[in-house]
Structure 1
Amino acid sequence: MSRPVERFDSADLDRIIEMAWEDRTTFEAIQHQFGLGEPEVIAIMRSALKPSSFRMWRKRVSGRRTKHGMTSRSSRFRASGHR
């Protein structure tokens, strides 16, 4: 099985990391756009961030309602550039 990082170019990886870092972007939105589940996003973040940055991000998103689409009020895909 290939690692998730190898499937994407650097622009896509930058966008995945940006979306994962944003509090309002759900893991489901990342899966919809890139086909990556939460464990794969976590693996990408672990490999891309410094250990202290990864721990800070992980602590922030663990159990956060807004990172999971099923629990948020909006059922619509949202992105920062989307109107």
Structure 2
Amino acid sequence: MSTNYIKKYNLRPHQVDRIIGMAWEDRTPFDAIETQFGLSEDEVIDFMRRNLKRKSWERWRKRVSGRNTKHRMKRSEEVNRFVSPAQNPITNNRIAKKKY
């Protein structure tokens, strides 16, 4: 785990996990990470490089490079959310049971 950013931004372990999770989410823009944790896009990329295994980082970097949703300025006007549509059935912190 990279101690540079942890010390610089005074991050706790659960915050490190949250940054990594937000960076993996397709609909969470880098601006949201910067607003919440203070890391710029370049810092998030470096943070991920230091905290992921090499292959995981390469996979993440390839995935993020072509994403318009990771950049607010590149998003279309219709995209005004960052939550996956798959989370719609989740209510009151419990997952709705499927009815077969």
Give the conservation status (yes or no) of the 8 Å contact 1:21–1:57: yes
Structure 1: state its 5+ residue gaps: none
Please list, as runs of the form range in 1=range in 2, the aligned pairs for 1:4-83 lying within 5 A after superposition.
4-6=5-7, 7=9, 8-72=11-75, 73=77, 74=79, 78=82
Bigger shift: residues 20-29 or 5-14: 5-14
Structure 2: state its 5+ residue gaps: 88-100
Give the conservation status (yes or no) of the 8 Å contact 1:46–1:54: yes
Give the conservation status (yes or no) of the 8 Å contact 1:28–1:68: yes
Higher relative contact order (CA 8 A, sep 6+): 1
Aligned length: 79
Decide which structure has the larger Cα Rg and report it: 2
Bigger shift: residues 66-75 or 51-60: 66-75
Runs of 4+ in 1 over 4 A off after TM superposition: none
Cα RMSD for the two superposed structures: 2.1
